[in-house]
Each structure stands twice: as structure tokens, then as C-alpha cells.
Structure 1
């Protein structure tokens, strides 16, 4: 049977909802349209759907001048296969054929009630959840696969973090010049207004700059940095197993401020209005995953003119999903279907919605070898976001 038999092949979610929490039910349909009858392999499952959640890390590293090692690790959270159509349903099951026409095969799966880390994508590691439909073709023809990735959120509640209201603090000092011509130190003492935030909230900074040098400091920079750690194992040519950790750092957002300090003086940053919004990002991954970790920090940079290196200090923060009751007294009600625009509100805290993040590529997995893989080539994670729009206290 020619491959032109398959006109369309797709997976859709009920209400287009592709963001879930642990314990929720993933519902959808595998939709299929055939212009001609399609032969199936004589196996138990002619068309099946597989839902799975897993994390994995992979990268190559030069461990010596002449040796490169692939470091790899994987964690499985669940895998569930369901048969949607079986050759045994046909009378002539020795030559199974799915007749031409349109088909919609429903499926559903209840996610485990706990132990699911948040979906996360980085260069060397990821936590990913997917649903994959497979058409089992006769021998000599590649199976046809359609994969769609969805987002799972670990509902990290900042109210359970004992340090959430504790400001993150940092001090730094440096001199400019060389040898006996060095200046008096440039010092910075800075802190955040608290230690934990949700996407959509704003990090506010205060503190002081003491400029002992003869150079005016005209501005400063504030950055949100995401730090990912990936743990993998590899075997060297001497058959020695090694475990390595790969670190990734990425600047997610940046604000340049006019907060500076004249030469030989001090400046109070408290009234400078230094604020950095938190974009749609995954929460800090501190639990449920042993091979991928995600942390965040605020980097405060004193921009020193000329050829001098800037003075930088780092302030660790936590990012969660359920905001502090101090700022969000009512329990947030998360949407049951995605929305393109933030919900409107008159009073009180804004309702959360799911905002898109940075797209990630969907590559072929080892299990996809020899199959014809259809479906989207990119996956866009979605994370909870509170559109305060400047109304946050």
C-alpha cells in the first residue's frame, strides 16, 4: 500500500489543554485520516498511544588529549501504553487492514499523584513529558509516529519555604588601578526585598554603593540568571566509570539602571527604584529529580567606566508557582484551558495563566530509529504567570 494512504495524523488534547499537575488526567484524541485502506502488521497493537515522563542528560566531554567520553543519565517517572486499534478487531486478522476514512481514537491517563518534577529544557538536560501515537506498519515499511510534548508543573508553594520572606544579601569590593596606584575600594552592599518570587512578580533591590575611587559610576545592571546542573555517567577507554556534572548558566532578563555613585562618595540605592520582573520560567527544581537541577540568582553589576572589570555580586533567590499569601491572600485557581491574553481583574491579586517560554527542539529518540516521525519539531513549554501589571504591592 503506498504511503499516500495517510492523509493526516495528529494528537490533540481536550480543550487544547497541554499543561498539567501531578494527579490530573491527560485527555485527548489521536486523529487519523486515510485516503486508502492501510495495511497493518500482524501484531497485537496496530495503533497505540504511549504516554511517558522522563528526564535525561547527555553531552560529550574531552577527558584527556585523545579521549572523548559521552556522559549520559536517565530517570523514568511513568510510562503507559494503550492500544487504540488492534488487528484482532478485524475479521480477516491474518491480513489486517484499517479501511479508508476518518478516525478519532480517545485516550486518557491519570498522572501519578506525586513525584513529578517540572518540565524543563536546557542544552544538556531536560525533564520532558510526551504522548506518542504509533501506527505499526507491515514489515519492510517504517512505523509511523506522531509525538506531542506537554508541560507538567510541580506546584512549588512558596508558603512552605521557611526562607521565602528572608531577603537575599550580598557584599562585594574591588579596587581599580595597579600596584601602588590602586584606588580606595569600591564597595557594594545590596539585598532583595525577599527571598522567593513567582513569575510576574518583581524583585526589588536596595542597598548602598561606596565609591572610594576617583571615577564616577554612572549606572548599574541587574540580571536574572538561571543555573542548570546536569549529572551524567560515562565510561572511559580504561573501563573506568565516571560521574560528571555539567553546569549551564543563562541570562533570562536584564535591566540597566541609572543608579550610580560619584567619585569619593556614597549612594543609597533604596530610592533608585531598582526592580526586575520575573518572566515565565520554571520553578526552582529542588525535588523529585536527581539528575537535573535548576536554580536562580540575581546578579547586581556595578558598571565601572574604562577598561576596568565590573564589580559583580550574586543574590540567590527561589522561584515557585504558588505565591506568598502576603501578596496573594486567596488560593490561586489555575485555568482549565490555555489563554492567549492575561485574564482581566478589577481588585485583588491577578488570576494566573500559562505563558509560553523559550521553544525547544524535539529530536529523535533512540526508540525512533527506523520510524517515520511526524508532528511538530519544536515544543514550547508553558509556565504559570501572574500578570500584576504594576499592581503588585
Structure 2
């Protein structure tokens, strides 16, 4: 180990490690030795794309473990020397100094999900490199990278440009005497967004009770469902962004007007192409009721995509042009979408343990996926949330979710 000073995977170009299906990954393995190593049989590279889930339920003897796995690609190559199964494979000498071993690999040109990391499951794409030494411990290093998954174009989603709305009512009892319902209503300015954009939330709690509303809270929540090979499943909810506003007294109304929630770098809804991890998003609007264990709450589902609405769709959704001019040979010009930057997932880098159980040669392997993120103007809607615009020709433009 003392002879090996550097052992790492480097990608050509800007080395940010973001690729797409069908693209050829090019790079090299960099090895720096303080002195010659005479015990090397070969240098092996493996390219892997896979998803994995794992969790346990119960405790002690009653504990049951569940897991699932999907493999999208796996390819192994020898970039120097020989493999252990080669006839007559023997140790070779790797001289001191710096060595570069180039590689190339074409990602399969098939739909692939975006990478994802969590304690209960992940979707990963990686380059695994091994210095094979007969009768000794091998040296290992890994490099994880991002594959741009299946694009989710909001312009192809009819509901994306129109608001979503939810309403619920809750009746509380005091000394066995029923009181008027507490009615909670929440709206979002659109039904779908991209990371970097702001979700504008408007909400109202009509408090027809003698209890006060302590405060109002709005949250962007990620719901991830993990499936095992046997199709058992478990769900985890994570609050990504939250904010608060003032409540109100008894028999009053508490209002939150177009509170912006900036969407961090997160994976899109789905992810498409993966059958063991499902990701969904929702806005939770809550009014905390004093001196009770209950909340006045509504849930508004939202979709997170990867390609934003065209600029003409950022303004008032009611101002949609239905009839296109037909003077230029019936050719309509579609505005170009802005280009994203790729930002590290919210939550930042996390340590990825070695699957093989071997220590990485140079400290911990830290990694986070990167997702397309946009810098878009944030303008609150100009329309009244109680009278949202409706989609042309739609009988029910607003998503209505009523709970009792």
C-alpha cells in the first residue's frame, strides 16, 4: 500500500461525470507509484448500472429483511495485463512513476432512470477499477457518475401549466359539543415544475371553531416507495423545503398568499425506467390547531420534470393562445427551452461504502447525483387563487381533492 500513491478514475473533458444514454464515456485510470510493483497480474475495469433496495421490518427474531435489485448494464474489461482466468497468467511489473490507462465505454442507448441515493435504496452508475495481485489483497477504487435519465418535458403534460387545488374540512368536538368545521384550502400556481423554479402556494384556513390556529406551514415533500423482488414495499416521506406563516384566532380566517418554495436539486417524478423505486412529490399545507393532536391539512400533488414550460407558459395560464396563425405554411415556432446546469443533489455528498468490503485506497468515497436545475424568473401569479384560470375546453381544469 505504501508504494501506491494515487489510484483514481478520471473522465475526459470537464470531468464532471454527467452523461446520457448512448454516449461514450472516455477517460483513464491514473496510478502513481513511489516504486515499482512486481506483483501485478492485471488492471481490470468494470462498468455497472444498477438499482437496489433494502429494508427490514420487525425486530429481533421477528425481523424480516426485504431487498430488490435491477441491473441495467454490467461490462468488464482488462485494460492492462491479464485476468485471473487467463491461461498462464503471471505477475507483471508496473514501474514507478505516473501511469495512465485509457478506457472507453458506450452507455446502452436505452431508457435509463436518473441516479438516486437514500439509506433504503439507490440507483447508481459507476466505474469500478481493480489492481489484481495474485495471492495478495487487491487494490480497489470506484468513480460514480450521473446518467441523464428519461427527459420529462412539462410542455407535453396538459396539466402542467394550470393550477392545482385541494380542499378539506375537519370538525372538532369540545365537551361533546360539535363546532363548525375548519375548512382548509390550498392552491399551487401550476401543476408541474423543474428544479430551481419556485412553487407558489396560496392557502386559507377558515376557522369556524373556538380553538385558535397556531400557525400555517407549507412543505414540499418527497414520497419514495421502495419495492422488493417479491413486490413487498415500504414508503418514506422526506420534507425538502418548508416555510411558515401566522395563524389566527377562534372564528377567524388565516391566509397565506403565494408563498414561494424554491425547488432544490432533486430527481424528477418517477423515475421512469426503474421498477423498484418510485418517486412522487406533494405540497402539504397545514394549520396547527391549538390544544389538540389534530391539524387542518390538505395535500396538493405536484410533478417535478426536467424540461421547463416554454417562456410563454410562465405567465398567466389563462392567456393561452389556442389558434395559431396559418400564414407561414402552417409552421409554428416553438420557443427553445433554457439550458440547465447540473447541481449536486440537495443533502450534498454522502459516503458510499465499499461493496467488496475492502478499504478504498485514498480515503472515503463521497458521492451525490447531479440533476438538471434551472435559473428561471420567479413571479407570483396575478390571478385570484379563489378564481384560478381553467384549461381551454376542460370541464374540470382544477384538481379537486376533498377529504372529510
Task: Provide the TM-score with structure 2 as the length reference.
Answer: 0.80
Q: 1:320 aligns with which of 270, 295, 305?
A: 305
Separation of aligned partners in 2, 1:179 and 1:257: 30
Matches within 5 A, 1:1-393: 3-14=1-12, 15-40=14-39, 42=41, 46-62=42-58, 66-87=61-82, 94-139=90-135, 141-154=136-149, 155-217=151-213, 219-233=215-229, 243-258=231-246, 260-266=247-253, 269=256, 272-325=257-310, 326-327=313-314, 330-332=335-337, 351-357=339-345, 358=347, 359-365=349-355, 368-369=356-357, 371-375=358-362, 376-388=364-376, 390=378
1:274 match: secondary structure: strand
1:289 match: secondary structure: coil
Separation of aligned partners in 1, 2:170 and 2:212: 15
- 5+ long unaligned stretches in structure 2: 316-333, 382-404
2:40/2:94 contact within 8 Å kept: no
1:344 counterpart residue number: none
**1:171 Cα deviation from its structure 2 partner:** 1.3
Per the alignment, do residues 214 and 134 of structure 1 end up closer, same or farther by CA in structure 2, a change over 3 Å counting? same
Q: After alignment, is 79-88 or 153-162 more displaced?
A: 79-88
Q: Deviations over 1:297-339 (max 9, x none)?
A: 110011223345221211111101111112397434xxxxxxx
**1:391 Cα deviation from its structure 2 partner:** 5.9
1:130/1:150 contact within 8 Å kept: yes
2:56/2:65 contact within 8 Å kept: yes
2:40/2:131 contact within 8 Å kept: no
**1:87 Cα deviation from its structure 2 partner:** 4.7
User: What's the C-alpha RMSD, in Å, of the aligned pairs?
Assistant: 2.5
**1:218 Cα deviation from its structure 2 partner:** 5.5
1:327/1:392 contact within 8 Å kept: no
What count of residue pairs does the alignment treat as equivalent?
352
Q: Deviations over 1:207-226 (max 9, x none)?
A: 54322113443631110111
2:58 match: secondary structure: strand
**1:79 Cα deviation from its structure 2 partner:** 1.4
2:186/2:203 contact within 8 Å kept: yes
1:136/1:144 contact within 8 Å kept: yes
**1:110 Cα deviation from its structure 2 partner:** 2.0
Q: Deviations over 1:225-277 (max 9, x none)?
A: 111111114xxxxxxxx54201111101101123x4453244665xx232211
Separation of aligned partners in 2, 1:210 and 1:288: 43
2:200/2:380 contact within 8 Å kept: no
Per the alignment, do residues 300 and 182 of structure 1 end up closer, same or farther by CA in structure 2, a change over 3 Å counting? same
